[in-house]
Chains A and B, each alone.
Chain A
Amino acid sequence: MAELAGVFAASHAPLIVRDWHLLDERLKAKLTSAYQRLGARLRSARPDIIVEIAPDHWSNFFIDNLPSVCIGVGATNAGPPEPFMQSFGHPTLAGEPQFAMHLLETALASGFEPSSSQRLALDHGFCIPLWRMEIDPLPPIVPIVINSLEPPMPTIARCIAWGNLLAQAITSYPFDARIAVVASGGLSHSIGEPTMGAIDEVFDAGCIGAFETGGERAVIDYLERALVTAGNGSHEVRNWVAAHAAAGSRGFELIEYLPAPEVYVGCAWASWGPHA
């Protein structure tokens, strides 16, 4: 039987790659250290499969066909399409169709109706954490896209339900496999808005407090209220919510919080048990 090997979350930001050469050395050292510490935990979990939950930054979907949730069920997914990501060195990334189809079927049998894709392009949201955590070789990646770019978006309560469903799918998978969950995105940021570049440290502290406290209700209550006025990129915290629930809504361990206006993101890194 499969088991949950660990649950992890990390921020991403294009400028961490695109403008790396322009960033202050101290900031680069802090970013590198945070990703490496999280990567060490992920590697020590020895995952055979990584389920990664990330947003789609208009790489796969458009408003003519915009799923709220999409599961990547293909044997192969495309690497990041962004020119600044080409040094990542993975023009394709292996998927894990058997578990992905089990997840999809578990979802449909449980009253969830995600879309599915046999070939997604895994943009910087998926690939920056994998790259900067130095996960090499990469295990197969089962991607889950939760819409956090274009309203309306899934409710926070629904993201909790998705996390619970993911945990159920992992424990019911009838094959030996260690499956880790990685959430990518958040915390506060604002892109293409008048507040672009602003980091909302109060919002971030509230998120961290809710995740540390544990439980479902605290997370739902806080985020349904606080996301209304947070920057648009902050909605990516939905991925952290799903991860939180997949970990049983236990409190997480914050590895690092780094408000970094230089890359436009309130960056955070965290893990939930069993390696928390």
Chain B
Amino acid sequence: MKRTDFALSKLFFDLQKGPAAAEYRADRVAVIDRYGLEPEIRAAVLADDVAKLAPLVNPYLLRYYCSAAGMPEAEFLEKIRG
């Protein structure tokens, strides 16, 4: 049974709240830096590297996150399908 990355999951979980998502869209780096992500994961988040993030987090949270971050659904589907 694979384990997901806790810090990444927590970031995505917290961004379900409207004000948090708005803050994230305004200053992504400031929010990310509160979560202590591993450097490689942090880089993947900043690069919108959905394929790299997918194995590290629950798929529902991944989808919620991409929506909260402002990624259009069509772009998310393209990225997740590789």
Cα separation A132 to B3 with both chains bound (whole Å): 37
Selected contact of B59 from candidates A62, A64, A83, A191, CB within 8 Å: A191
- The answer, yes or no, to whether A80 is at the interface (CB within 8 Å) is no
Given known A63-B4, A83-B18, A194-B82, contact A58–B62 (CB-CB < 8 A): no
Contact B6 A63 (CB under 8 A): yes
Interface residues on chain A, number (Cβ under 8 Å): 17
B: contact size bracket: 20 to 34
Partner of A58, one of B13, B80, B81: B13
Q: Which residues of A contact B60 (CB under 8 A)?
A: 57-58, 149, 191-192, 232
> CB-nearest residue of chain A relative to B13?
A62
Tell yes or no: A137 within 8 A of B by CB.
Answer: no
Residues of B within 8 A of A150 (CB): 4, 58
Q: Which residues of B are at the interface with A, using a C-beta cutoff of 8 A? A: 1, 4, 6, 9-10, 13, 16, 18, 54, 58-64, 77, 80-82
Report chain A residues within 8 Å CB of B59: 191-193, 196, 232
- Please, which residue of chain B has its CB at the minimum distance from the CB of A197? B77
**Given A57-B60, A63-B6: A152 and B81 interface contact (C-beta under 8 Å):** no
- CB atoms of B10 and A62 under 8 A apart: yes
Q: How far is the CA of A191 from the CA of B16 in the complex (A)?
A: 16
**Residues of B with C-beta under 8 A to A62:** 9-10, 13
A191 touching B63, Cβ below 8 Å: yes
Q: Give min CB distance, A228 to chain B, whole Å.
A: 13
Chain B residues closer than 8 Å to A191, beta-carbon distance = 59-60, 63
CA distance in complex: A104, B28 (Å): 43
Q: Which residues of B contact A232 (CB under 8 A)?
A: 59-60
Residues from chain A with Cβ under 8 Å of B58 in the complex: 58, 63, 149-150, 192
Contact (Cβ within 8 A) B18 A58:
no
Chain B: minimal CB distance from A112 (Å): 22
In the complex, chain A residues whose CB is within 8 Å of the CB of B6:
63-64
Instruction: Say how far A20's CB is from chain B's closest CB, in angstroms.
Output: 16
* In the A-B complex, the 3 residue pairs with the closest CB atoms: A192-B59, A192-B63, A192-B62
* Residue in chain A with minimal CB distance to B82: A194
CB of A125, distance to nearest CB on chain B (Å):
11
Contact of B9 (CB < 8 Å), options: A63, A152, A193, A197: A63
Residue in A closest to B3 when the chains form the complex, CB atoms:
A63
Supplied contacts A58-B13, A62-B10, 18 more A-B pairs, CB within 8 Å: A57-B60, A58-B61, A58-B64, A63-B4, A63-B9, A63-B58, A64-B6, A149-B60, A150-B58, A191-B60, A192-B58, A192-B62, A193-B54, A193-B59, A193-B80, A194-B82, A196-B81, A197-B77
Shortest Cβ gap from B13 to chain A (Å): 5
A155 to chain B: closest CB distance in Å?
14
Give the residue among B10, B16, B58 with the most A Cβ atoms within 10 A.
B58
In the bound complex, how far is the Cα of B77 from the Cα of A202, in angstroms?
A: 23
* Cβ–Cβ < 8 Å partners of B1 in chain A: 151-152
Contacts of A193 in B (CB 8 A): 54, 59, 80
